[in-house]
Amino acid sequence: GENVEQHPSTLSVQEGDSAVIKCTYSDSASNYFPWYKQELGKGPQLIIDIRSNVGEKKDQRIAVTLNKTAKHFSLHITETQPEDSAVYFCAASLRSQGNLIFGKGTKLSVKP
């Protein structure tokens, strides 16, 4: 079955710097890759997603890139702010399936 590896497990940056989180997946049939942000005491919040027919997607300070050949995808956050501090999860799935396979998460700390 699908396996998703996520790195790093913790990331600390200064406010205003960029942050990059990387994920690899094992099943070449996976075609949907969302990213979630989870704050303490809350459920995961969908922040951006990408489908396998697209190489890059941007939404303001957040971007995701996908390399299907290498089976990896990355989350890029520019101009980080303290409110970006949270745990970020990548996931992969087959769009025809109802389940997401999640990475183990990255705890991002943005220091003011």
Partner 1 sequence: KAGVTQTPRYLIKTRGQQVTLSCSPISGHRSVSWYQQTPGQGLQFLFEYFSETQRNKGNFPGRFSGRQFSNSRSEMNVSTLELGDSALYLCASSLDRGATEAFFGQGTRLTVV
Closer to partner 1 by CB, 77 or 89: give it.
89
User: Does the protein bind partner 1 through residue 98 (CB under 8 A)?
Assistant: yes
DSSP string, the chain: ---EEEE-SEEEEETTS-EEEEEEES-TT--EEEEEEE-TTS--EEEEEEETT-SEEEETTEEEEEETTTTEEEEEE-S--GGG-EEEEEEEB-TTSS-PEE---EEEEEE-
Q: Which is nearer to partner 1, 34 or 85 (CB)?
A: 34
Binding piece for partner 1, criterion CB under 8 A, among 14-22, 29-37, 56-64, 70-78: 29-37
Span interacting with partner 1, options 10-18, 20-28, 43-51, 67-75, rule CB under 8 A: 43-51
Nearest approach, Cβ of 18 to partner 1 (angstroms)? 25
